[in-house]
Amino acid sequence: MNVFGNIFLKRRKMFKNKFLKLYIGVLFLVTLSFSSCEKEIPIWYSNGLKTAFYQLKEAALEYAPSKEFPRALHKDGSIRFEPAKGWTSGFFPGNLWLMYGMSHNNEFKIVAEQYSELLDGQQYETFTHDVGFKMFCSLGTSLRYTENKKYQKDLVAAANSLKSRYNSEIGVIRSWDFGEWQYPVIVDNLMNLELLFWASKYTNDEIYKKIAITHAETTIKNHFRKDYSSFHVVEYDTITAKPISKETFQGYSDSSSWARGQAWALYGFTMAYKETNKKEFLDQAENIAAYIIPQLKKNKDKIPFWDFSSPDIPNTVRDASAGAIIASAFLELQKFSDKGALYVQHAEEILKSLSSKQYLAEKGTNKLFILKHSTGSLPHDSEVDVPIIYADYYYLEAMERYGKIKNIDMKQIFN
């Protein structure tokens, strides 16, 4: 072989070695990149969802679809079940739908459908405003991931039932039919407006949206104090259409700030702005947020005390459900606000706490609920410092929203 041939072979060998080193280097960087992506998922987040997956899967087996739905725990530690007519009945099927949406595990879809079917008939109930909670947190949640025409028809029927409780002279939807109030409206009622907004878009009928907007506007006018804390119950005179009392039913006092009520308000006005682009709703949501954030700082872990005005703070119970609702609302509000980064920060801090050992159940414990330490109604000694189903629902919703904001690949968690 001549000189040029030897030079060519040497150069080809050198090139081959360099190429091999370069290939190995690139392969290492790619592997490292994939490894880094996996490590970027916060441990608290991954553990929270894996625990929720386990708890819900076991619950679906334990509480094989019946005519009752898990709600909370009794004082003796036994499960409190709710009939379909109860206001919390939609949350367990909603939890199953949320987990299906994140994990794409068809087992959750099958059981979610079974539980959703058990709510059939509730769309025609006109005795309560909670038809929105029942039907939209179940069937409405399913529509994020599926297109079920029967569910759509049922939701329109539910919206009509809710619409029947609207008084055009007062401008609000009646909340309760019990008690001695003339016409009571609770701040929680804002949450049911989402059903009306959906129905308006689906049917192309503005009447549902107009009712929802008027209810929200009337609530701004009468439900809030100067600091943007909220009264729980406003009673209206059916003749003059004016408020005649402002009080509480589940809070510490008529002048106090019941934590879950503030959470409902924050969530409700954020949703109302999303559906209408009316600036007064965004302003209201941000003003409520400005009131809530300092209240969260009363507790190092950012989980609200059951009433922000309780004189027993810090020696009183928390309400994890209020924390979960606030976190979910913050993660939605950040889309529309120049304070978005602040809201995500606070939501993340809340979710980290809810995903800690203090609030997140160990797998197989807590009667298969996901979160601990919620409070339903302390004044009635009802569901105090126990797991409650709607805390799990808003926790899962908040975790889903957080995952989307952070572009987390759910396959890395559930596969």
**Residues taking part in catalysis:** 130, 188
- Quick count: other Cβ atoms within 10 Å of Cβ 22? 10
* 112/97 Cα distance (integer angstroms): 6
- Tokens at residue 288, please? 């409520």
Rg of the chain over Cα atoms, rounded to whole angstroms, equals 25
* 225/166 Cα distance (integer angstroms): 24
The CA-atom distances, in angstroms, between 252 and each of 116, 249, 311, 347, 358 are 35, 8, 9, 25, 25
